[in-house]
Structure 1
Amino acid sequence: MNTTRVRSADRVMDILLLLAEHPSGLATAVIAEPLDIPKSTLHHLLNTMADRGFVGYSPELRVWTIGPAAFSVGVTYVRTSDLPRAAAPFLRSLCEAHGATAHLAVLSGMEAVYVAKFETSGPGPRLVTEVGARLPAHLTAVGRVLLAALKDREISDLYPAGGLDRRTGAGPVDRIELADLLAEVRRSGYADELGATTPGIRCIAAPVRIGHVTVAALGLTFVDGVRSPEELTSLTEDLRRISDELSVAVTPKGGGHDPTHRETDSGARTDGRAVRSETADRLDAGKFEPTHHPANSAVTG
């Protein structure tokens, strides 16, 4: 057996596990000390991992962070554990408690992909979005939750300078307005969208996390103007509570970070990062049967 090769692989795993515990990043020297890796060797390993997308480096902060390839590997369990089906009882609970359409979405590039939905059997909006449909992420509450988990440079890559598509005259006009919206989502811990996809329809959404990774967004959609401020507050608090409960339910035991932990006084959870979900990949490949609990067909935000 080539023990040198095994040691290198072992060190790569140790680096990934250490960085996973420190989402804000670590300097080279801080990585080297607890892992007992010579700095020259560590530099070679980190540069190779960066080339493959498993780590990233911030020249401004001079720290290494987990890269998108590592996050993609980290959420592959979605392919077998079936996040949409796991979410079904939580969607039902929200729908029945508030008489609104509940839905689950994942991020695919610049789009929010709807992978599960539960609708009330009573009167309510009949929305245009079916399970498997896609909407521009910047126009939807679920999409904004997912985008808010990305780093600024990742947002810049997705949205070059220039105007953004708008459907109804509502929503951000450019990347600067989008950045302001996402900053508010990070601060508050949820997104609130009104009329950007369908006039008169409002959606509130909150993140679903596995460890530090935002893998989906849970949303509630309803007609605007029919609920009191107190009812909206109750709905938002319930949505955030249930999104946290779903996060706990889908996080493997020993998965580390407690998704219910809010790290700022405002309740914002600022350490999450979104990835292109394996659920979205499965939809593209035709290998996934989304979860739709009608009662009716629907718009979502």
Structure 2
Amino acid sequence: MEQTNVRLVDRVLDVMETLARYPNGVTIATLTAETGIHKSTIYRLLTTLVNRGYVIKDQEGSTYRMTLRTYRIGSSAVPSFNLLDLSKNTLRELCQVSREAVHLAIPDGATIVYLFKEVSSENVLRISSRTGSYNYMYYTGLGKALMACMSSEEVKTIWENSEIQKFTPNTITDFHTLLNELEETRKRGYAVDNEEHEMGIGCIADVVRDADNRAIAAISISTLTVRMDENFLIRTIPLLHKTAQTISAMLGYVPSEEHPQLIYQ
């Protein structure tokens, strides 16, 4: 009986993890194909998740998608100092001053999970990221900012646990190329996403460190790549660094003379 219950939990998690990859909704047929679970079992599991408020069914399209109830549970895994509440006002100020889109994300294995996203009303961008969603580190500025603070061994582990795909002509799909990019990130002091996940969208990113000098999160400023010129960098890089330093200071981080920047190995 215990083994059966464990198997049932595995199936529920398989369904929820698959749902997470389809934020706009997914059919039972697709869930069956991707999980290998029988259609009737999928239906019973979905019915329970709907009744508990974790999933909602689109009556017109007969598709299912997750609700924010799952995010509320996941957000409890954020450290006790509540990074999101602590930094929210500072991030909103960065969005207003930069007039661009701003993100905050934390590492989760080989991925980053978005805790905050705000797009300036002056420059409405269509970016696929959503609060509570995730992306692999290697193709995001946020992820590369975090990896630039890691050892080569840690980066290799992340790489080996990632699904390597070429989303755009600029996506890095070679490990040694990634290592070179991270070295450049350390030298310049910020990470760059140059249309590596979405065509037409780029960003710069920096990390947030805690009192123990750990890079626990990353923030980014995103824009259209046609606007990401030298003037953009001159204007926004100081804003990015200042915001990262402000949030890090709230967490007790004190920069040293040896490491005045947040991104370093």
Tell me how far apart the structure 2 counterparts of residues 138 and 227 of structure 1 sit (CA, whole Å). 20
| Structure 2 counterpart of 1:258, from 245, 254, 262 | 254
For residues 209-228 of structure 1, what are the structure 2 equivalents within 5 Å? 209-211=209-211, 212-226=213-227, 228=229
Q: Is 1:111–1:143's contact at 8 Å kept on the other side of the alignment?
A: yes
Task: Give the equivalent residue in structure 2 for 1:92.
Answer: 92
Within the alignment, does 1:270 sit opposite 2:264 as a pair? yes
1:217 CA drift (Å): 0.2
1:228 CA drift (Å): 4.6
Looking at both structures, which has the greater relative contact order when contacts are Cα pairs under 8 Å and sequence separation is at least 6? 1
CA root-mean-square deviation? 2.5
Task: Give the equivalent residue in structure 2 for 1:232.
Answer: 233
Task: Give the equivalent residue in structure 1 for 2:196.
Answer: 196
For residues 1-301 of structure 1, what are the structure 2 equivalents within 5 Å? 78-160=78-160, 164-211=164-211, 212-226=213-227, 228-251=229-252, 258-259=254-255, 261=256, 263=258, 267=261, 269-271=263-265
Instruction: Write out per-residue CA displacement over residues 119-174 of structure 1, whole angstroms, 9 at most, x where no aligned residue.
Output: 21234212111101111110000000111111111122222499932211212121
Q: Call closer, same or farther: CA 1:195–1:264 in 2, change over 3 Å.
A: same
Q: Is 2:142–2:219's contact at 8 Å kept on the other side of the alignment?
A: yes
1:242 CA drift (Å): 1.2
Q: Is 2:190–2:263's contact at 8 Å kept on the other side of the alignment?
A: no
Tell me how far apart the structure 2 counterparts of residues 162 and 197 of structure 1 sit (CA, whole Å). 14
Q: Is 1:95–1:119's contact at 8 Å kept on the other side of the alignment?
A: yes
Provide the secondary structure at the position in 1 that maps to 2:237.
Answer: helix
Tell me how far apart the structure 1 counterparts of residues 170 and 84 of structure 2 sit (CA, whole Å). 29
Provide the secondary structure at the position in 2 that maps to 1:120.
Answer: coil
- Runs ≥4 residues deviating over 6 A: none
- Per mean C-alpha deviation after superposition, the further-off stretch among 88-97 and 155-164 is 155-164
Q: Call closer, same or farther: CA 1:227–1:156 in 2, change over 3 Å.
A: closer
Q: TM-score, normalised by structure 2?
A: 0.65
Q: Is 2:145–2:218's contact at 8 Å kept on the other side of the alignment?
A: yes
Instruction: Write out per-residue CA displacement over residues 35-55 of structure 1, whole angstroms, 9 at most, x where no aligned residue.
Output: xxxxxxxxxxxxxxxxxxxxx
Provide the secondary structure at the position in 2 that maps to 1:225.
Answer: helix
Provide the secondary structure at the position in 1 that maps to 2:205.
Answer: strand
Provide the secondary structure at the position in 2 that maps to 1:144.
Answer: helix
Q: Call closer, same or farther: CA 1:157–1:125 in 2, change over 3 Å.
A: same
- Per mean C-alpha deviation after superposition, the further-off stretch among 157-166 and 199-208 is 157-166
Kindly provide the amino acid, as one letter, of the partner of residue 104 in structure 1.
L
1:268 CA drift (Å): 6.6
Instruction: Write out per-residue CA displacement over residues 240-279 of structure 1, whole angstroms, 9 at most, x where no aligned residue.
Output: 111011100122xxxxx514x46368x57425xxxxxxxx
Q: Call closer, same or farther: CA 1:240–1:220 in 2, change over 3 Å.
A: same
Kindly provide the amino acid, as one letter, of the partner of residue 151 in structure 2.
K
Q: Call closer, same or farther: CA 1:161–1:89 in 2, change over 3 Å.
A: closer
Provide the secondary structure at the position in 2 that maps to 1:126.
Answer: coil
Q: Call closer, same or farther: CA 1:262–1:89 in 2, change over 3 Å.
A: farther
Q: Is 2:140–2:193's contact at 8 Å kept on the other side of the alignment?
A: yes
Count of residue correspondences: 189
Task: Give the equivalent residue in structure 1 for 2:73.
Answer: none
Q: Call closer, same or farther: CA 1:154–1:122 in 2, change over 3 Å.
A: same
Instruction: Write out per-residue CA displacement over residues 43-86 of structure 1, whole angstroms, 9 at most, x where no aligned residue.
Output: xxxxxxxxxxxxxxxxxxxxxxxxxxxxxxxxx99532210111
